[in-house]
């Protein structure tokens, strides 16, 4: 019962947070400079004032902002995210078509950063003053300091000109037939390597530093000395007793930074021409496509809230003290 009450409380808090984010995003997007109708007119090579006024009426842009907000909230509550001004397609359909690509990129990057970063942190904590630990520390600082777009452009330059063994653009090859066969999966995997690596490097550096610091703190604990005094093997002490407790701050950081990873995906998808939500959001901002921008932001906020909820639930699996509470 305590677990269900906690889950229900988290869900209610998440719904309130999503509602607040929707209202804030709506106000900020409409407060930004630019007119979507003028953008459409410019893309069309010019437009008569009467037609521009008709478009504003059709899109509801001639109404007061509070009225527009109320209409938008009512539509969102009914599951209608509106139609794109530029593509004239349902926003929900456009998001659904691009969600798999973005989730594939984000999950691949997060899992790579979490697993490799934690492993490097554990290795460097075994001999904090050793050569391996120093090398991992230097590489982590370099990875943390390098901007995502700069890393992406370096990889594009390296693998497009110097060592062309991996594709640097798109999600599939131009001659790919598509489908769900093994050849198509391998083609997508090859295209995924560079974008996922670019997005993972920054967070890999953070996780390695955090897991190293956490492991060093845990290895000084009394129960670790007791486990060693009992004659347990070092790998048992390290990976079964110490790592489980050292993972708590890393899991916390993983949940908190999921929103940053989604934001970083916008840059990575633009650099590598990856057909995901980030690229859609970037193009929609340039075109002042309000419904598409708001739809992408709504989806991203829901993903972040869900990931924070999953992080709280993972705590109960990792830390026995929380499970017993």
Kindly provide the b/e burial profile for residues 293-316, where b requires at least 16 CB atoms within 10 angstroms of the residue's own CB.
Answer: bbbbbbbbbbbbbebbbebbebbe
Most confidently modeled range among 54-58, 140-144, 178-182:
54-58
pLDDT score for 282: 85
d(CA 133, CA 123): 7
pLDDT of residue 322: 58
Residues 6+ apart with CB under 8 A from 55: 37, 40, 61
Q: pLDDT over 90 for what percent of the chain?
A: 5
Range with the lowest mean pLDDT among 31-35, 126-130, 231-235, 317-321?
A: 317-321
Q: Mean pLDDT across the stretch 190-215?
A: 86
Between 19 and 144, the higher pLDDT residue: 19
Closest by Cα among 101, 268, 98 to 197: 268
Domains (ranges, CATH) in the chain? 14-77 (no CATH), 95-324 (1.10.3720.10)
Please check the confidence at residue 71 and state whether its pLDDT lies above 70. yes
| DSSP labels, 255-293 | HHTHHHHHHHHHHHHHHHT--SHHHHHHHHHHHT-HHHH
Nearest to 140 by CA among 156, 127, 124, 157: 124
Judge whether residue 177 has pLDDT over 70.
no
- Asked whether 285 and 297 are in contact (CB, 8 A), the reply is no
Task: Compute the average pLDDT of residues 111-126.
Answer: 86
Dihedral class, residue 179 (left if φ above 0, else alpha if ψ from -120 to 50, else beta):
left
| Among 14-23, 35-44, 205-214, 270-279, the least confident range | 35-44
The structure's pTM equals: 0.78
Report residue 203's pLDDT band, with 50, 70 and 90 as the boundaries: confident
More confident residue, 159 or 297: 297
Q: 91-95, 180-184, 296-300: lowest mean pLDDT where?
A: 180-184
Range 13-41 average pLDDT = 84
C-alpha angle 241-247-248 in degrees, rounded to nearest 5: 110
- Band (324; pLDDT cuts 50, 70, 90): very low
What is the residue-averaged pLDDT of the chain? 81
Provide DSSP, 82-147: -B-TTT-SBHHHHHHHHHHHHHHHHHHHHHHHHHHHHHHHHHHHHSTTSHHHHHHHHHHHHHHHS-
* pLDDT attached to residue 317: 67
Give the confidence band of 24 by pLDDT, cuts at 50, 70, 90: very high
What's the pLDDT score for residue 315? 67
Q: What is the mean pLDDT of residues 144-169?
A: 80
Q: Is the pLDDT of residue 314 over 80?
A: no
């Amino acid at each position: 019962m305590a677990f269900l009450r906690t889950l229900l409380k988290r869900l209610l808090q998440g719904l309130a947070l999503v509602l607040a984010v929707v209202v804030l995003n709506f106000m900020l997007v409409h407060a930004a400079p630019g007119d979507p109708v003028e953008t459409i007119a410019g893309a069309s090579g010019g437009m008569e004032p009467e037609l521009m006024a008709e478009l504003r009426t059709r899109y509801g842009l001639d109404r007061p902002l509070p009225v527009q907000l109320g209409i938008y909230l009512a539509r969102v509550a009914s599951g209608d995210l509106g139609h794109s001004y530029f593509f004239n397609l349902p926003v929900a359909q456009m998001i659904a078509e691009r969600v798999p690509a973005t989730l594939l990129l984000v999950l691949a990057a997060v899992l790579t950063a979490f697993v490799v970063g934690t492993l490097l942190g554990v290795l460097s904590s075994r001999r904090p003053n050793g050569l391996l630990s120093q090398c991992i520390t230097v590489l982590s600082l370099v990875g943390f300091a390098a901007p995502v777009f700069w890393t992406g452009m370096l990889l594009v330059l390296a693998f497009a000109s110097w060592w062309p063994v991996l594709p640097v653009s798109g999600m599939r090859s131009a001659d790919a037939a598509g489908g769900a066969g093994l050849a198509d999966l391998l083609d997508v995997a090859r295209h995924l390597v560079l974008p996922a690596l670019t997005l993972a490097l920054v967070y890999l550096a953070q996780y390695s530093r955090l897991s190293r610091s956490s492991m060093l703190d845990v290895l000084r604990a009394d129960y670790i000395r007791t486990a060693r005094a009992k004659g347990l093997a070092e790998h048992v002490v390290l990976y079964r007793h110490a790592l489980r407790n050292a993972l708590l701050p890393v899991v916390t950081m993983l949940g908190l930074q999921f929103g940053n990873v989604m934001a970083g995906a916008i840059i990575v998808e633009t650099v590598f021409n990856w057909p995901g939500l980030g690229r859609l959001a970037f193009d929609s901002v340039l075109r002042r496509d309000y419904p598409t921008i708001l739809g992408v932001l709504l989806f991203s906020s829901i993903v972040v809230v869900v990931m924070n909820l999953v992080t709280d639930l993972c705590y109960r699996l990792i830390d026995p003290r929380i499970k017993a509470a």
